[in-house]
């Protein structure tokens, strides 16, 4: 029986070392949270890195790492520190990530990083090929593995290969600045089906293919000499039921079952019943617009001092890529901004920002989603933004307001949110004021529409749609050959 082989840089589980023992925890991040349920419910294996470098794993635990991964139908890819530095911290996160998010000033073009990126992509491809059997479906994920589809195609010309890009694809004018633009496009075109979150990313990709490689593009198909590659948009959903039922269970908790965080949130609500909580959750990343959000919040308080002691920003920033200099600088900037704003506006009984720099367990995430009246998500660029969708899914009483940047892919399907331009502080301040004062009836109307749509297009549906299109693409290829 054929299986699906999922490949991503990281596995959905993370293995760490604690007192000479291995600890397994779930990975944080959009791709892992999104695809986990598809992997759990289907006949698939998942290939990726565990989070521990070869140097970090003691010799006597090497086999155990493999075993731990295997228990979850995962196969671990071994990466050493040098590979990780060049491939992940280097080319992936200092070249592709900033370029694809339009941060050209952060984009490096380091030939050594590129060489390591190629080498590590080949390593992933080789492991896939080891586990590949005729009829399997291969689904490659994200910007760290752009070359893998063609590396597989070279060895297995008949393989059925899908590729999904979780981040934006930039416009041709930006993409063309990459020194290795041809190789990257050729790598991706090894797939039969290439998926993006939005139609815009799809168009940008096709325009780069036609202008850089001069391939013929008909609507959403690229004609290669020997096959057709289909390109389409599949806006990723969330595991809606999981978030909805977690929120419903959360409300059933007895006082003893509540978390310390929830007790603190409740205490805040009891002490100031007419005050509002505004939530922001992201990985600490310059694309997420966290510094801008803080400045816009300060601007709001400066211009609307009547809301002092009436609102609070609860901000969770999850540590991410802290080896990359831009992320270290951003961390300092955010620390300073939070300190400055809290110093400027705090009163004896109130601080405007509660700032958490850590990763929280899922239950605490639900505490935050269900307790906050407003979610303020202002990325400068974001492929999709699953946090926006998760917030909506947990609002089981249908209240709450989502303020969302138009630069997030999610904005294209979430019209009922208050959509803002993350660089326009007047607009953000206006949206905060509108959200604070929005009548409950209007909140519920908007929330119900959003929920209906998200429920219908869950992550399971998204994965099924992608796989179905991939199977059809393959069937078309076979009939194309037999003509
Ligand atoms: C990339 C793209 C695209 C966050 N903090 C904690 C935690 N999370 C979970 C959230 C959510 C996920 O991480 C974040 O997903 P996003 O989509 O918001 O962002 P990225 O990580 O940048 O994801 C993005 C996504 O891929 C999917 O294609 O939407 O545009 O950049 O699921 O719940 N989970 C836990 N603790 C935390 O502290 N447990």
Does residue 383 have its Cβ closer than 6 Å to ligand 1?
yes
Does residue 479 have a pLDDT over 80?
no
Residue 176: per-residue pLDDT:
98
Q: How confident is the model at residue 1 (pLDDT cuts 50, 70, 90)?
A: confident
> Kindly report the CA angle at 83 between 82 and 86, in degrees rounded to 5?
85
Which residue is associated with the tokens 């948009």? 233
**32 alpha carbon – ligand 1 mean position (Å):** 8
- Atom index in ligand 1 nearest the CA of residue 390 equals 33
Q: Whose CA is nearest to atom 33 of ligand 1?
A: 387
Q: Could you tell me what percent of the chain has a pLDDT over 70? A: 98
Does residue 231 have its Cβ closer than 6 Å to ligand 1?
no
Q: Which two tokens stand for residue 445?
A: 């109307």
Nearest Cα residue to 93 out of 251, 322, 252: 322
Q: Whose CA is nearest to atom 10 of ligand 1?
A: 387
**95 alpha carbon – ligand 1 mean position (Å):** 21
Q: Which of 6-10, 71-75, 174-178, 477-481 has the lowest mean pLDDT?
A: 477-481
State the average pLDDT over residues 122-126: 98
State the average pLDDT over residues 406-427: 98
- Atom index in ligand 1 nearest the CA of residue 168 equals 30
The predicted-structure confidence for 260-318, as pLDDT tens digits, reads as follows 898 888 888 888 888 899 999 999 999 999 999 999 999 999 999 999 999 999 999 99
Residue 29: per-residue pLDDT:
66
Does residue 291 have its Cβ closer than 6 Å to ligand 1?
no
3-state SS string for the chain: CCCEEEEEEECCEEEEEECCEEEEEECCCHHHHHHHHHHHHCCEEEEEECCCCCCCCCHHHHHHHHHHHHHCCEEECCCCHHHHHHHHHHHHHHHHHHHHCCCHHHCCCCHHHHHHHHHHHHHHHHHHHHHCCCCCEEEEECHHHCCHHHHHHHHCCCCEEEEECCCCCCCHHHHCCCCCHHHHHHHHCCCCEEEECCHHHHHHHHHHHHHHHCCEEECCEEECCCCEEEEEECCCCCCHHHHHHHHHHHHHCCHHHCCHHHHHHHHHHHHCCCCEEEEEEEECCHHHCHHHHHHHHHHHHHHCHHHCCCEEEEEEEECCCCCCHHHHHHHHHHHHHHHHHHHHHCECCECCEEEEECCCCHHHHHHHHHHCCEEEECCCCECCCHHHHHHHHCCCCCCCEEEEECCEHHHHHCCCCEEECCCCHHHHHHHHHHHHHCCHHHHHHHHHHHHHHHHHCCHHHHHHHHHHHHHHHHHHHHHHHHC
Give the separation between CA 302 and CA 308, rounded to whole angstroms.
9
Does residue 230 have a pLDDT over 80?
yes
**459 alpha carbon – ligand 1 mean position (Å):** 13
ipTM rounded to 2 decimals? 0.99
Q: Whose CA is nearest to atom 23 of ligand 1?
A: 30
Which residue is associated with the tokens 């989603």? 369
**386 alpha carbon – ligand 1 mean position (Å):** 6
Does residue 424 have a pLDDT over 80?
yes
Output 349 or 423, whichever has higher pLDDT: 423
Does residue 239 have its Cβ closer than 6 Å to ligand 1?
no
**91 alpha carbon – ligand 1 mean position (Å):** 21
Q: Could you tell me what percent of the chain has a pLDDT over 90? A: 84
Does residue 153 have a pLDDT over 90?
yes
Residue 319: per-residue pLDDT:
93
The predicted-structure confidence for 37-49, as pLDDT tens digits, reads as follows 778 777 899 999 9
Q: What SS3 state is found at 342?
A: helix
Does residue 384 have its Cβ closer than 6 Å to ligand 1?
yes
Does residue 86 have a pLDDT over 90?
yes
Give the separation between CA 176 and CA 173, rounded to whole angstroms.
6
Q: How confident is the model at residue 251 (pLDDT cuts 50, 70, 90)?
A: confident
Residue from 12, 27, 30, 96 to probe ligand 1 pocket by mutation (most atoms less than 8 Å from CB)? 30
Does residue 67 have a pLDDT over 90?
yes
Task: Quote the mean pLDDT of the chain.
Answer: 94
State the average pLDDT over residues 146-154: 98
Residue 482: per-residue pLDDT:
58
Give the separation between CA 241 and CA 247, rounded to whole angstroms.
10
Q: Does residue 257 contact residue 73 with C-beta atoms inside 8 Å?
A: no
> Kindly report the CA angle at 88 between 151 and 188, in degrees rounded to 5?
30
State the average pLDDT over residues 364-387: 97
Model-level pTM greater than 0.80? Answer: yes
Q: Whose CA is nearest to atom 30 of ligand 1?
A: 383
State the average pLDDT over residues 178-207: 98
State the average pLDDT over residues 112-127: 98
Crossing angle for the helix pair 148-155 and 181-188, nearest 10 degrees? 60
**Buried b vs exposed e over 205-236: b needs ≥16 C-beta within 10 Å?**
bbbbbeebeebebeebbbeeeebebbbbbbbb
Q: How confident is the model at residue 252 (pLDDT cuts 50, 70, 90)?
A: confident
Q: Which residues contact 282 (CB under 8 A, 6 or more apart)?
A: 288, 290, 316, 317, 318, 377, 379, 387
Residue 480: per-residue pLDDT:
60
Residue from 12, 25, 27, 28 to probe ligand 1 pocket by mutation (most atoms less than 8 Å from CB)? 28
DSSP-H helix ranges across 51-106: 62-71, 81-83, 97-100
Give the separation between CA 419 and CA 404, rounded to whole angstroms.
5
**30 alpha carbon – ligand 1 mean position (Å):** 4
Residue 185: per-residue pLDDT:
98
State the average pLDDT over residues 424-445: 98
Residue 470: per-residue pLDDT:
96
**341 alpha carbon – ligand 1 mean position (Å):** 26
Residue 412: per-residue pLDDT:
97
Does residue 191 have a pLDDT over 70?
yes
Give the separation between CA 36 and CA 46, rounded to whole angstroms.
10
Give the separation between CA 121 and CA 378, rounded to whole angstroms.
33
Residue from 6, 13, 29 to probe ligand 1 pocket by mutation (most atoms less than 8 Å from CB)? 29
Does residue 360 have its Cβ closer than 6 Å to ligand 1?
yes
Output 32 or 66, whichever has higher pLDDT: 66
The predicted-structure confidence for 258-269, as pLDDT tens digits, reads as follows 888 988 888 888
Does residue 483 have a pLDDT over 60?
no
**388 alpha carbon – ligand 1 mean position (Å):** 10
């Amino acid at each position: 029986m054929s299986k699906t082989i999922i490949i991503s840089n990281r596995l959905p589980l993370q293995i760490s070392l604690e007192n000479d023992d291995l600890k397994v925890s779930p990975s944080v991040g959009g791709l892992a949270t999104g695809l986990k349920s598809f992997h759990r419910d289907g006949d698939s294996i998942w290939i990726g890195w565990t989070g521990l470098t070869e140097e970090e794993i003691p010799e006597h635990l090497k086999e155990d790492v493999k075993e731990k991964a295997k228990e979850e139908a995962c196969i671990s890819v071994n990466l050493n520190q040098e590979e990780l530095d060049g491939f992940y911290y280097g080319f992936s996160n200092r070249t592709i990530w900033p370029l694809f998010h339009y941060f050209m000033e952060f984009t490096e073009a380091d030939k050594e990083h590129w060489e390591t990126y190629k080498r590590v992509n080949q390593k992933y491809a080789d492991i896939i090929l080891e586990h590949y059997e005729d009829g399997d479906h291969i689904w490659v994920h994200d910007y760290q593995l752009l070359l893998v589809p063609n590396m597989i195609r070279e060895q297995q010309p008949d393989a059925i290969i899908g590729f999904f890009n979780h981040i934006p694809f930039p416009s041709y004018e930006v993409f063309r600045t990459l020194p290795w633009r041809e190789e990257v496009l050729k790598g991706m075109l090894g797939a039969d089906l290439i998926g993006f979150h939005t139609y815009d990313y799809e168009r940008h990709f096709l325009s780069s293919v036609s202008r850089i490689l001069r391939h013929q593009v008909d609507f959403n198909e690229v004609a290669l000499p020997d096959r057709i590659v289909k390109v389409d948009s599949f806006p990723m959903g969330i595991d809606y039921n999981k978030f909805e039922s977690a929120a419903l269970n959360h409300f059933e908790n007895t006082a003893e079952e509540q978390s310390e965080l929830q007790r603190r949130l409740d205490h805040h609500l009891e002490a100031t019943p007419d005050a509002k909580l505004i939530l922001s959750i992201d990985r600490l990343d310059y694309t997420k617009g966290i510094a801008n959000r803080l400045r816009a919040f300060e601007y709001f308080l400066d211009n609307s001092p009547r809301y002092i002691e009436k609102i609070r920003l609860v901000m969770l920033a999850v540590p991410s890529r802290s080896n990359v200099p831009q992320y270290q600088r951003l961390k300092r900037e955010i620390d300073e901004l939070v300190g400055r704003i809290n110093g400027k506006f705090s009163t004896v009984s109130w601080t405007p920002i509660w700032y958490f720099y850590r990763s929280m367990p899922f239950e605490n995430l639900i505490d935050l989603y269900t307790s906050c009246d407003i979610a303020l998500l202002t990325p400068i660029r974001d492929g999709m933004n699953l946090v926006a969708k998760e917030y909506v899914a947990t609002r089981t009483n249908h209240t709450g307001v989502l303020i969302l940047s138009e630069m997030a892919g999610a904005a294209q399907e979430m019209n009922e949110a208050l959509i803002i331009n993350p660089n326009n502080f007047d607009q953000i301040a206006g949206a905060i004021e509108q959200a604070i004062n929005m009548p409950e009836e209007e909140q519920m109307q908007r929330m119900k529409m959003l929920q209906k749509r998200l429920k219908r297009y869950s992550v399971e549906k998204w994965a099924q749609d992608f796989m179905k299109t991939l199977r059809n693409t393959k069937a078309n290829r076979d009939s194309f050959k037999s003509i």
